[in-house]
Amino acid sequence: MNRIFAAVIAIVLILLGLSSMFVVSEGHSALLLQFGRIVQTDYQPGLHFKLPVIQQVIHFDKRILSLDAPPERYFTSEKKSVNVDFYVKWRIVDNAMYYRATGGDQLQAAQRLTPIVKDALRFEFNARTLPDLISGGRKDITERVRAQTDASTRKNLGIAVVDVRIKRIDLPNEVSESVYKRMRAERLQLANELRYTGQESAAKIKADADRQAQVLKADANRDAAKVKGEGDAQAAAIYARSYSQDPEFFAFYRSLAAYRTSLEDGRGVLVLKPDSPFLRYFSDPSPKK
């Protein structure tokens, strides 16, 4: 009987010894409770001891955790709705506060964190226009939301918001259609402006080319008239010299030129008297003495 009793006592002592030890693994921490009251917080990884039966250990994951919330609809400053899909990275920084706020339940922590992030996002989206969101205002929004939610969750939940990211912003069908129409109108307006600018430039180039052509023609006509005048003057001088040297030959040459001009087409008819001076070289080509 004594041996059985001693064996039972030994087993009980062994169980009590084992239950007085607990291990905190890497990436985790622990909180010690005694009759529901917090005794010690922030146990680091390693082997630790507690009072068996009356003390209880709650383990916490100290690594960065993710909250992937379902898409939420928000309104812009123009009262246009957008569907926003986002996620949050967070971690526990105060075990005692986290336990008091959530009971150490990660699901409950996510349920309390989600509305805080959504409210901050709603405020930021309500303060911006749809073109601002489309043109790339996400980084500014997420930085402001992270800072706001981090300050609130550290104070009330004992967790730190490490990052907030917007995965996508979708427009409802009715909003998408209005955006596409506006973008189409803007592109059409830009195309018309470019077309008008091109036509204006073409008209200027054509007008300048026409002006230059007129100037070139005027200069060419002036030069041609000058050359012709000089040629006529030289011809007149030659005629004058020829006439002074041999008047009879000059008269004969001038008559031949008149014959060629009058009979050039072969169909001309001349009605003249036989003794007309114009026909003088037809009847008597010898020069007069």
Q: How many CA atoms lie within 13 A of 44 on its CB side?
A: 0
In the prediction, which pLDDT does 137 show? 64
Confidence of residue 38 (pLDDT cuts 50, 70, 90): confident
Crossing angle between the packed helical segments 106-126 and 95-102, to the nearest 10 degrees: 90
Kindly report which listed range (128-132, 170-174, 192-196) carries the lowest average pLDDT score. 170-174
Which of residues 222 and 27 earns the better pLDDT score?
222
pLDDT at 161 over 90: yes
Q: Does domain 65-171 have CATH number 3.30.479.30?
A: yes
Whether the full predicted model's pTM is greater than 0.85, yes or no, is no
Give me the mean pLDDT over the 137-162 stretch. Answer: 88
Crossing angle between the packed helical segments 247-263 and 173-245, to the nearest 10 degrees: 140
| Residue 165 DSSP class | E
In the prediction, which pLDDT does 125 show? 87
pLDDT at 288 over 60: no
The owner of tokens 């989206």 is 125
In the prediction, which pLDDT does 176 show? 61
Domain ranges of the chain: 2-61, 65-171, 209-283
| Cα–Cα separations (whole angstroms), residue 53 to 16, 18, 35, 37, 132 | 8, 11, 10, 14, 60
- Give the contacts of 117 (CB within 8 A, at least 6 positions apart): 67, 69, 86, 88, 145, 149, 161, 164
Count the helices and strands in the chain (H runs, E runs): 8, 9
Give me the mean pLDDT over the 212-219 stretch. Answer: 88
Q: Are strands 81-92 and 65-68 parallel, antiparallel or unpaired?
A: antiparallel
Residue type, 40: Q
pLDDT at 253 over 90: no
**For 254-282, what is each residue's pLDDT tens digit?**
776 776 776 666 666 666 666 666 666 66
